A and B are shown apart, each in its own frame.
Chain A
Amino acid sequence: MGTLKLLQGNEACAEGALYAGCTFFAGYPITPSTEVAEYLARRLPLIGGAFLQMEDEIAAMAAVIGGSLAGAKTLTATSGPGFSLKQENLGFGMLCEVPCVIVDVMRGGPSTGVPTGPSQSDIMQCKWGTHGDHPVICLTPAYVQEIFSETVRAFNLAEKYRTPVIIAFDEIVGHMREKIEIPDKGVIPIENRRRPTCPPSEYMPFDETKGDVPPVADFFSGYRQHITGLNHASDGFPVNASPRIHTDEQRLIRKVEGNRKDIIKYETVMLDDAEVAVFAYGVSGRSGKNAVELAREAGIKAGLFRPLTIWPFPEEEVAALASRVKAIIVPELSLGQIVYEVERCAKGRCPVEGIFRVDGDPITPEQILAKIKEVK
C-alpha cells in the first residue's frame, strides 16, 4: 500500500518526477505550471538534487539539457508562452538525443492569452513547434493519478529512447485536486539510459552500429563527448551534405515511429459496440467519458477513445475506429487542431465533427451529448 494524498495535478507531476528519479529541475515560473516548480524547489534539495530558477525559459531548457548530459534525470515545466521560447533548445535536445522531460500546462493563447484559463491549443506546437523533421513523444494525462503515472512513464520513455518527452495537460487538470496513491518504490519499474560499456577510447556518442538508441556517456565520466546542434557523425562532430544526414535523421524518427506499440497508450470506454465515437484527451476526455455514459442511458451506442499518448498519433487505431463507427466527435479546447489529425487518419471513412471552445470553460458532457444525438 502506497501513500494516499490529496494532490493537485501539478503536484502529482512533481511527485511522479521524483518517483522516476529526477534530481534536477530548471525552470522559470509561469501560471498555470508554477506549482510543479514550487513543489520541486521544496523537495529536490532534501534528496541531494538541485532546483534552479533560470533567467528565462530559454535558459531553463538549456539547463535541463545540460543537466541530463551530466547524467541526471531532468525536468522543466512551463505554459504556452514559455513553451514557445523553449522550442529552439527543444529541437537541439531532439537532434542531440538528450533524455529530458518538458511539461506544458496549457493555458489560453496565443501570446500571454489567458494565464488562469484552460486550453488544449498547444497540441500541434508539441508536434511541430520546433523546426525540422524531429521525433516527438507527447503524453496527455487527464486525472491526477494519471499525471503521476504518466510523468513516470515520460521519464522512462525519455531514458529508453534517449529523447526529450513532452507532457501536455490543461490548466484544469493541472490545478485540480484528487486523491492519489503514490506507490511504494519499486512498484512502477524505472528505466535508466543505456551507458557505454566500452573503454573511453572506443566510445562514440552517436554510434548507430549499436542500434537505433546508441549508449550515451555522462559528461565528466572520462568519455569524450562532442555535442552540437549541427547534424553530426557517430563521433558527434559536424557533417555537411553527407548521405549520413539522411540515414541519421531517419534513425531519429524511427526511434519513435518504429516503437509505436511501446509508446502509444490510450483508454477506451464502451467502444467495442459503439456507433458514435468520441475522441478526446485531457479535461475534454473527462467530459467525453460522462457524455458517452449519458448517451448510453439515452439508448445511443456511444464510446470513448481517450489517448494518453497524443504523439506519435494513434493512426492505426483511429483508422480502424473510423471503419466501424458512423461518426467520430472531437471535442477540444481550441478552435480545431487535433480534429484534423483524426480526419487525416479517418481518410473519409466516416465524418469527423469537432466541438471547439476557447472561452475559459471546459466543454461539458451535455455539449458532447448534443453532438452525439446530432450525428447518430
Chain B
Amino acid sequence: MSERFEIRFSGSGGQGLILAGVIFAEAATIFDKINAVQSQSYGPEARGGASKSEVIISDKPIDFPKARAIDLQLSLTQESCSKYYKDIKPDGTLLVDEDFVRDIPKGTFKVIKMPIIRTASEEIGKAFVANIVAIGAITALTGKVRLESVEKAVLSRVPKGTEEMNKKALRAGYDMAKAKMN
C-alpha cells in the first residue's frame, strides 16, 4: 500500500466516532507501523450535531491532514451522511447504519448497509459499543490494518472492565462485514 487511503467516521456528537478514529489510527501507526494521521471536526455542542473523525493512512509521510477524496466513509446518522458524502471517491465505499440512514445519497460509490447500532445494543447489549462494531466492520472492509492490531488498540483505549464486551463488539462488526463481502 503506497497510496493515500482516507477513512471518515461520521455520525452524531457523543457516538464515540473521534475515539473510533483514534483507535484505528493507533492500530495502523503504532502496531502496524504504517503512517497515519487522525483529525476531527465537531461543533461547539458536546452531544448531537454532525461530527466527523478522519484517518489517513499511507506508506508515505502524510502532510495535508484532512480527507478530501474518501475511500471509505462510515455514517451512523442521516444528517452526517447527507452532510459529508460528497467527498467520497467515485469508486469509494459508503458504510451506513441501515436503521438510521434511510435516504441513501446518489453516487457511483459502493453502498454497504449494516445494522451497526442494533448489533451493539441487541447482540452485545450496549448501544455505546456501536463505534467498536463499526471499527470491526471497517477493519474487514479496508483490509489495511491487521485485526489483532486493531484489537490491541481497542484494549489500550477502552475503560477497564469493558475489555471483553469491546472485543466481542469488534469481532461482531468484523464478521458482519466479512459476511457482506462474500
Q: With a CB–CB cut-off of 8 A, which chain B residues contact A287?
A: 63-64
- A362 touches which of B30, B38, B62, B66 (Cβ 8 Å): B66
Whether A115 and B44, one on each chain, are in contact in the complex, defined by CB atoms closer than 8 angstroms, is yes
Q: With a CB–CB cut-off of 8 A, which chain B residues contact A333?
A: none
Interface hit among B21-29, B75-83, B111-119, B171-179? B21-29
Whether A177 and B66, one on each chain, are in contact in the complex, defined by CB atoms closer than 8 angstroms, is no
**Contacts A4-B30, A6-B30, A115-B44; A176 near B65 (Cβ below 8 A):** yes
- Write the B17-47 contact mask toward A (1 if CB under 8 angstroms, else 0): 0000010011001100001111111111000
- Write the A126-166 contact mask toward B (1 if CB under 8 angstroms, else 0): 00000000000000000000000000000000000000000
Complex Cα distance A361/B30, Å?
28
Whether A177 and B41, one on each chain, are in contact in the complex, defined by CB atoms closer than 8 angstroms, is no
Contacting residues of chain B (39-62) with chain A, CB-CB under 8 angstroms: 39-44, 62
Task: Please tell me if B68 contacts chain A, counting CB pairs below 8 Å.
Answer: yes
Whether A290 and B63, one on each chain, are in contact in the complex, defined by CB atoms closer than 8 angstroms, is yes
Whether B30 and A286, one on each chain, are in contact in the complex, defined by CB atoms closer than 8 angstroms, is no
Whether A176 and B44, one on each chain, are in contact in the complex, defined by CB atoms closer than 8 angstroms, is no
CB distance from B51 to the nearest CB of A (A): 10
Complex Cα distance A366/B25, Å?
25
- B65 touches which of A31, A116, A172, A179 (Cβ 8 Å): A172
Task: Please tell me if A193 contacts chain B, counting CB pairs below 8 Å.
Answer: no
Whether B63 and A289, one on each chain, are in contact in the complex, defined by CB atoms closer than 8 angstroms, is yes
- A6 touches which of B22, B40, B63 (Cβ 8 Å): B22
Complex Cα distance A286/B41, Å?
18
Report the interface size class on chain A. Answer: 20 to 34
- A5 touches which of B30, B42, B64 (Cβ 8 Å): B30
Q: With a CB–CB cut-off of 8 A, which chain B residues contact A366?
A: 68
Task: Please tell me if A109 contacts chain B, counting CB pairs below 8 Å.
Answer: no
Whether A6 and B66, one on each chain, are in contact in the complex, defined by CB atoms closer than 8 angstroms, is no
Q: Nearest chain-B residue to A293 (Cβ)?
A: B63
Complex Cα distance A178/B40, Å?
13
Whether B64 and A177, one on each chain, are in contact in the complex, defined by CB atoms closer than 8 angstroms, is no
Whether B38 and A179, one on each chain, are in contact in the complex, defined by CB atoms closer than 8 angstroms, is no
Whether B66 and A361, one on each chain, are in contact in the complex, defined by CB atoms closer than 8 angstroms, is yes
Q: Nearest chain-B residue to A114 (Cβ)?
A: B44
Q: With a CB–CB cut-off of 8 A, which chain B residues contact A177?
A: 22, 25, 37-39
Whether B39 and A175, one on each chain, are in contact in the complex, defined by CB atoms closer than 8 angstroms, is yes
Candidate in B26, B40, B42 with the most chain A CB atoms within 10 angstroms: B40
Q: With a CB–CB cut-off of 8 A, which chain B residues contact A116?
A: 41-44
Task: Please tell me if A364 contacts chain B, counting CB pairs below 8 Å.
Answer: yes
Task: Please tell me if A283 contacts chain B, counting CB pairs below 8 Å.
Answer: yes
Complex Cα distance A270/B66, Å?
23
Whether A176 and B38, one on each chain, are in contact in the complex, defined by CB atoms closer than 8 angstroms, is yes
Whether B68 and A176, one on each chain, are in contact in the complex, defined by CB atoms closer than 8 angstroms, is no
- A172 touches which of B25, B43, B63, B66 (Cβ 8 Å): B66
Task: Please tell me if A82 contacts chain B, counting CB pairs below 8 Å.
Answer: no
Complex Cα distance A250/B39, Å?
44
**Contacts A116-B41, A172-B39, A178-B37; A286 near B26 (Cβ below 8 A):** no
Contacting residues of chain A (96-144) with chain B, CB-CB under 8 angstroms: 115-116
**Contacts A6-B29, A179-B30; A290 near B64 (Cβ below 8 A):** yes
Q: With a CB–CB cut-off of 8 A, which chain B residues contact A5?
A: 30
Q: With a CB–CB cut-off of 8 A, which chain B residues contact A173?
A: 65
Q: With a CB–CB cut-off of 8 A, which chain B residues contact A362?
A: 64-66
CB distance from A236 to the nearest CB of B (A): 45
Task: Please tell me if A365 contacts chain B, counting CB pairs below 8 Å.
Answer: yes
**Contacts A116-B41, A175-B40, A176-B38; A364 near B64 (Cβ below 8 A):** yes
CB distance from A80 to the nearest CB of B (A): 15
Whether B29 and A365, one on each chain, are in contact in the complex, defined by CB atoms closer than 8 angstroms, is no
Contacting residues of chain A (1-31) with chain B, CB-CB under 8 angstroms: 4-6, 31
Q: With a CB–CB cut-off of 8 A, which chain B residues contact A176?
A: 37-40, 65
Complex Cα distance A201/B181, Å?
82
Q: Nearest chain-B residue to A291 (Cβ)?
A: B64
Complex Cα distance A31/B41, Å?
13
Contacting residues of chain A (332-356) with chain B, CB-CB under 8 angstroms: none
Q: With a CB–CB cut-off of 8 A, which chain B residues contact A178?
A: 29, 36-38, 62
Q: Other CB < 8 Å A-B pairs besides A172-B39, A361-B66, A366-B68, 10 of them?
A: A6-B29, A6-B36, A175-B40, A176-B40, A176-B65, A177-B37, A177-B39, A362-B64, A362-B66, A364-B64
**Interfacial residues, chain B to chain A (CB-CB below 8 A):** 22, 25-26, 29-30, 35-44, 62-66, 68
**Interfacial residues, chain A to chain B (CB-CB below 8 A):** 4-6, 31, 115-116, 172-173, 175-179, 283, 286-287, 289-290, 361-362, 364-366
The 5 closest A-B pairs by CB, nearest first: A176-B39, A177-B38, A289-B63, A179-B29, A286-B63
